[in-house]
Structures are given as C-alpha cells and as structure tokens.
Structure 1
Amino acid sequence: MNATLHGVRLGLERGLREFRHSLRSSDQFFTLFSSIGFLTVLWFQRDSRVEDTSLTLAALTLPSIIGMSVVFGGLVGPAGQLAVNREDGTLLRAKAVPNGMVGYLVGRVTQTSLDTAFAQLAFLVPGAFLVDVLAGVGAADLLALVAVLLLGMLATLPWGAVIGSIAKSPGSAMGMTMLPIMGVTAISGIFYPITAMPGWLQAVAQVFPMYWAGHGTRWALLPDAAAAAELGGTWRLPLAVVVLGTWAVVGFLVAPTILRRMARRESGSDMESRRQAALQRIS
C-alpha cells in the first residue's frame, strides 16, 4: 500500500477510535449542556412571530444554530486539540514516524467532523419536536443541508489548525477562538434576524463564515417564505458558496505552510518547556 494512503487509513482509524472514546468521557457534558441551553432558547422563542413571515423565531433559530455549530466545531475543535497535542508530546511523536503528520491531521479532521455531527444531532433531534416547521423537510433538503455543512467545515477547519499552530497554550487557543466566535455570533443573525442589526454590523457579519453557514442551513431547512427575513428578502446561496469557498481555499493555501513550519520547529525541549508551564498553571 502507498505510504501516504497507509497514513490516511491510520488517521481515519485513530479519529474513529478517539471519537468513540470521547463518547464515554466527560467531554460530552459540554455537548449536553449546550444542547439543553439551545433547546431552552427555542422554548422561549416558540411563540414569537418573525415580522413579514408566518414563521416563529424558533423556526429561524433552529437551523441557524446548526450552521453555527459547524463553524464553532471547525474552529474551536482543531485549535484546542492541536494546542493540547503540542503540549503533551503527541505531535512530536507523530512527527517522528513516517507519514505520521498525515495520519495525525486526518485523525484530527475525522474526530472533529464526528464530534460536530454528534453535537448537531443531539440538538436537532429534540429540537424537531419543538419546531414543527421541519416536518416538511425531505431527502433533497437533507442533502442540501449536508452540502452546506461540509462547505462550512471546509471553510473553518484550516483556520482552526492555524490558530492551534500559533497558540502558545491550550488556554490561549481557546481565547483566540471562543471570544471572536461569540462576538461574530452576536451579529450574524443566529438567534434573531440579522435585519434587526445596524447596516454596518450587517456588512461586518457578511465577511465571516458564521452568517453564511446560518444562511445556508436556513435555506436548506426552511420554506421559501422564510427568505422574507433575510437581507434583501431573498436567498443568496451563490454568494454564500463564494464566501465560504473563499475562506476554504485561502485556508487550505495558508494552513499547510504554517503547519509545516510549526512541525519543523517542534522539539523535545520545546515540549518540555510547555509541559512545565502547564504544570505551573495547574499548581
């Protein structure tokens, strides 16, 4: 078997194994807690009507949260995991074996994708009982949803890896992802229509993947009448593809260079200094 393909196969196996392990660990507490929080939001929004539509605010929020989760997972997951693996020596060990970095990166992508899909299902399944507008969703709509989510993942995964490569610690990686994501989420029409925001904030939101991932998931799951709550009163799927695709292309051009540079600089002494810094933070 080709050595690179062998590394890919090992990475897939590693990603699946680590995902199964995460299902039995306390890591899923955050997923459960987040799902309960989002479902609570839907419960309070279930009777609020959106202006110019016959839909409830909960009907717009549910698919928006699905789009938000793929951006969140694509950025925070790889950034945190890469920072942790640099600190505990996992990355250094991967670097030391043939095609180890290939297997490592494939494993990270596999686990991140599965973690994100699990989090979405944990919210979407019970959410469907609160938001009856999803009852008319068919197979074509679900395929469209999968396509949007895959594009959203491609637009964010490489940037999560970049952040994890330049962060000095897991804590700084979280700070570099969580705080910006919270700010962008607040202006991207996830929990209420973006049309309620000032024009300049609407323009800022449309630069980032968050808004377009939410726009795409709403397009996939909601009826055509829901477009009245969007900017311009219409679905802008071609522009969504362009923006998300641009983030993906630029990310995959930038990330490999930064990852290679980071891997070349990894050494036992660097890992030990990070480990000692981590022990000091704990103590």
Structure 2
Amino acid sequence: MSPLERTLPLVVNNFTLFGRDPGPLIGRVTQPVLLVLLIQPLFVAAMGDRARGTTQVVLGYLVMFSLLGMSIVGASILTERRWNTLDRLRATPAGVHELLVGKAIPVIAFLLLQQAILITLGATVLGLRIASPGLLLFANVVWAITILCLGAAIAMTVKSMAQFSAVVDIGSTVIAGLSGALVPLSAMPDWARAIAPVWPGYWAMEALRSATDGDGKATLAASAILLAFAAVAAVVAAVRLRNGWGRNTLL
C-alpha cells in the first residue's frame, strides 16, 4: 500500500469528523467577520488613515482568530486521545508523518478558508489594499502551517481538554496583544515593543503586512522565521506521537 493510499482515508475521516460537528468551525469564522465590521471604523478614526486602519484591523484580527483556531487543531487530536483511538492509529501501517498529514490537511483547509473570508471581506467591503495577492497567499499558507504545528505540539503535551483550552485562550490573547495584532506597535509601551519579535504573531503580522505592500523580501524573511517556529513545534508533536505520549489518559 502506497503512502497516499494510507493517508487518504485519514484525511477523509477527519473531514467527516469536522462535518459532523461544524459548530466550532462556524464560530471561528463568524466571530472575526462581525468584529472586523464593527471595529474597523474605530481603527480608521484612531489612526487617521483609512488604508492603515483597515490593514491593521483586518490583519490583526486574522492573526488573533488564527491563533484561536488552534482549538480546532487541538480538538482534532484530543478527540482521538479521548476515544482511545490514537494508539490504534499508531498500530496501523501508516507512519507518524502520514498520521500527522492525515490530521493536517483538513485543519489547513479550515485555516485557509478562515483567512480567505477575512481577506475577501477586507478587500471587497472595507477597501483593504493588496499589492501582491500571490505574496499574501504565500504568507497565509505559511502562517496556517505555523498555527497547525503549534496547535499539534500543545495538544500532544497537555493532559486534558481543559488544559488545552486554557493554554490556547490565554496564549492567543497574550501573543496577539504583544505582537501588535490588536494594537499597533507604535501605540504600545517600550517594553512591549522590545519583546514583540519573540512571538510568532509578530512575524505573522510582518509577513502579512509586507505581502499586502508587495514587499517580497520582507515577506520571505518573516515567513522563514515563522517556518522555524513551525519546525520546532512539529518536531515536538512528532516525537511525542512516536514515543506514545499521546496515549496519556485525558483528565
């Protein structure tokens, strides 16, 4: 059996699981849309520039709700642990990388859909200026991969769904806030600006903003740093899955 033949049933199964419980997916899409529509006029007025205000609110809330989208990643993995099916998957001929790909593709599809809806809303309704759609697509894909890997690493580390929810909810708010996603970096205190580059959300904002400006060099540089975050998180998730740490009983 080829790797594709082993991976495809996992992908189909995970799409099916998403389809049976679409509530979280719908919530993660509708919430940012409503908030962006409500808050965009405030940002435009505060920044005194429609283009800058719109870019800040659309990209900022994209980053914020992408981070919250890690809950979708975690639920996909933690469900397998709660059902005690993760060990059965590990016992199949599929390798660790194939199991991860089977989980990853549906989640990546959701994250890209979430981002596409916000970007489309910004461009068609709010006047978001996009100098290079191709660069923006590239930055969105890199950010989605980063979110996927971070969510998988957290889900393979925590011991309960409650712990995962706490880490994602608190972590997303902290990362988004200190990355300049919720408030422009220029309006933040010196200490916050100093530590902003520590967070992946900062580089997501840099990559996305540079892509909308058509700055290929800056987009690629920020994307490379995001991929470094993703690589570290992916290694953590893969090691824990390979060692069987995913079979810990959920509290």
TMscore range, shorter length? 0.7 to 0.9
> Structure 1 residues 44, 144: closer, same or farther in 2, change over 3 A?
same
Measure, in 2, the Cα distance between the counterparts of 1:40 and 1:60.
14
- CA deviation string 1:132-170 (max 9, x = no partner): 143xx36xx221112112222333322321211121111
- CA deviation string 1:191-246 (max 9, x = no partner): 3321222232122221111011112111212477xxxxxxxxxx844541342132
Q: CA deviation at 1:26?
A: 6.1
Instruction: Give the total of aligned pairs.
Output: 250
Q: CA deviation at 1:189?
A: 1.4
> Structure 1 residues 171, 250: closer, same or farther in 2, change over 3 A?
same
Q: Match of 1:8?
A: 7
Which one of 210, 226, 236 corresponds to residue 254 of structure 1?
236
Measure, in 2, the Cα distance between the counterparts of 1:253 and 1:103.
14
Measure, in 1, the Cα distance between the counterparts of 2:180 and 2:199.
12
Q: Match of 2:143?
A: 152
Q: Match of 2:36?
A: 38
Is the contact between residue 190 and residue 214 of structure 1 (CA under 8 Å) also seen in structure 2? yes
Is the contact between residue 49 and residue 55 of structure 1 (CA under 8 Å) also seen in structure 2? no
Measure, in 2, the Cα distance between the counterparts of 1:172 and 1:20.
25
Measure, in 2, the Cα distance between the counterparts of 1:30 and 1:246.
26
Q: Match of 1:87?
A: 82
TM-score normalised by length of structure 2: 0.84
Task: Report matched runs for 1:92-131 at 5 Å.
Answer: 92-99=87-94, 104-131=99-126
> Structure 1 residues 22, 103: closer, same or farther in 2, change over 3 A?
farther
> Structure 1 residues 237, 142: closer, same or farther in 2, change over 3 A?
closer
Aligned sequence identity (%): 20
Give the gaps of 5 or more residues in structure 2: none
Q: Match of 2:46?
A: 48
Give the secondary structure class of the aligned counterpart of 1:55: helix
Measure, in 2, the Cα distance between the counterparts of 1:66 and 1:33.
11
Which one of 58, 61, 65 corresponds to residue 57 of structure 2?
61
TM-score normalised by length of structure 1: 0.75
Measure, in 2, the Cα distance between the counterparts of 1:43 and 1:128.
15
Does residue 1:216 correspond to 2:207, yes or no?
A: yes
> Structure 1 residues 186, 208: closer, same or farther in 2, change over 3 A?
same
- CA deviation string 1:48-67 (max 9, x = no partner): 335xx673422322123334
Letter in 2 for 1:28: I
RMSD: 2.8
Give the secondary structure class of the aligned counterpart of 2:46: coil
Task: Report matched runs for 1:124-273 at 5 Å.
Answer: 124-134=119-129, 137=130, 141-222=132-213, 236-237=218-219, 239-262=221-244, 266=247, 271=249
Is the contact between residue 80 and residue 174 of structure 1 (CA under 8 Å) also seen in structure 2? no
Q: Larger Rg: 1 or 2?
A: 1
Q: CA deviation at 1:30?
A: 4.2
- CA deviation string 1:14-72 (max 9, x = no partner): 3443444455x56413432332123211243343335xx67342232212333444444
Measure, in 1, the Cα distance between the counterparts of 2:214 and 2:235.
36
